[in-house]
Chain A
Amino acid sequence: MIIALDIFEPYGFQFFRNGLVVATIAGALCGLLGVFVILRGMSYIGHGLSHAVFGGAAASAVIKVNYFLGAGIWGVVSGLLIARVARRRVIGADAAIGVVTTASFALGLALMNRYGQASKSIEAVLFGSVLGVKVADIYAVALVALLGLAVVILGYRKLLFSTFDRDVAQVSNVRVSLVEAVLLAMISLTILVTMRVIGTLLISALLVIPAASARMTTNSFSRLLWISPIIGAVTCFVGMNLSYHLDTSASATIILLDAFVFVVVYAIAGTRNRAKMASLGHL
């Protein structure tokens, strides 16, 4: 009885309920988009974008512009800069992402040091702050999640084709660059609406770990699109609860739980399935 009461204790707090809803939806959304991130070898882009958007978040706080507007524009500019720098073939896209996003991240840190309020710690930005969740955040995350679902369902065939075989998709009249732009826009939107709540580090982890775990359990693309969001949502839900009881950071707990799931699946999947991971060598 005491244990039962204990489990439901955090649900008495409004901030916890809000945080739980946002984290669970974010987990499912990141799990869904994560499938494309790992199959396209984009994990570094997710990682980079979340760090870049941080610079925009800090800048918009300093000049008192709406967060979504400021960080959104910043994200788009970073994306364009990455594309511009990567065009120099000697540098390469991964290095371009490294340059632009770390610079943006550092700029964000410097701005916060110089002009930020003392209450906003670096930790809250890196790991998010459940306390700060507002009802508007829930709406924003839910809206982006619905949009993401619609994009994946309606664009399923085009997304699958251009992910598997870019050249032939193009020959078959699929507008590959449009598909890629939509996917990148969805990932950016996801980062934008979840960053304040779950933090820069958790987003990049959520975009990679659930999908990588799911990949080891199935060889079917359509099943992957179910399993990965479920892993993402469940680990976020359980992680949030655990973090309350263990008095640990919500993000850190969720990442550790995801990593734990990964290790368990990895061990169970055994050597035969491990071969599938060979194609995910970039992770």
Chain B
Amino acid sequence: MIVCEHVSCTYGNAPVLSDVYFNINRGEFVGIVGPSGSGKTTLIKAIIGAQPVAHGSITIASQLTIGYVPQVETVDWYFPVTVEEVIVMTRAKTKLWPRITSQERTEVREVLEKLGIADVAHRHIRELSGGQQQRVFLARAMFCQPDILVLDEPTSGVDVRTRHEILHLLADLHQDGLTILLTTHDLNGLAAHLPRLVCLNKTVIADGNPREVLTSKVLEATYGAPMEVLEHGGMPLVVDHGRVAMRGEGK
């Protein structure tokens, strides 16, 4: 449903992505991994149409609705809006009347219930926990009944429990037939659990299931640092070698 061919993006004169080939089919659950500055967010923004493509093309199936969940860190949490107002925002294009209709209220309630946060509709966005914040923006993306959900770093800055919750929630949505694309820097906590991974550093270095992709060779090429992959409970576990000798260590 999304095909990227020969995609390059630049910021000024600096290339951020070059010659990216990559596609997503309906029903897939894909994670993009790579170091900071590798172009993960840029690729996602190019796909949703918020970043111009310098070369190449991104073909998106017609009538495709994309639900986008931005990085939690980029949200202005002091902005004066309630959860309900945030979720209804996605209808901005079609609705002229400012007031939220009772029909919309019911729909907001339904989507919040589905995500297990039915009681927060009238709260200000500042008054939410980390997991709730992530779910509210997930709810906003779900509100327009998307064909594909695109999430930028859904687990950055959240604790272990919240990360599990988000992962389970996404797995459930995927189970229900939703296509999901996300970026992450969390190799063990998130990426290793996904059915398909794309390693990105300016260009696609590897693409496949975690068992094929999470190898020392691929990871070293992606991160430019030595990494080792162990096996733990039937899952690949990435360990980096960035060992620094601290003063007083071992005493």
Contacts and interface: CB of A to CB of B under 8 A. Distances in A.
Given A160-B89, A276-B78, A172 B49 contact: no
B92 A39 contact: no
B98 A156 contact: yes
B81 A221 contact: yes
B90 A160 contact: no
A175 to B, nearest CB: 9
A266 B86 CA distance: 27
Interface residues of B, number: 31
Contacts of B82: 219-220
Contacts of B92: 157-158, 160-162, 169, 172, 174
Contacts of A171: 48-50, 66, 68
Interface of A is mostly: helix
A165 interface: yes
17 contacts: A39-B79, A153-B98, A156-B98, A157-B88, A157-B91, A157-B92, A158-B93, A162-B92, A165-B75, A168-B68, A168-B140, A171-B48, A171-B50, A174-B92, A174-B93, A221-B79, A276-B78
Contacts of A173: 93
Interface of B is mostly: loop
A279 interface: yes
B198 to A, nearest CB: 21
Interface in B25-58: 45, 48-50
A161 B49 contact: no
A185 B126 CA distance: 32
B124 interface: yes
Contacts of A219: 80, 82, 124, 126
Given A154-B96, A167-B45, A222-B98, A172 B78 contact: no
B76 interface: yes
Contact of A170 (B50, B81, B86): B50
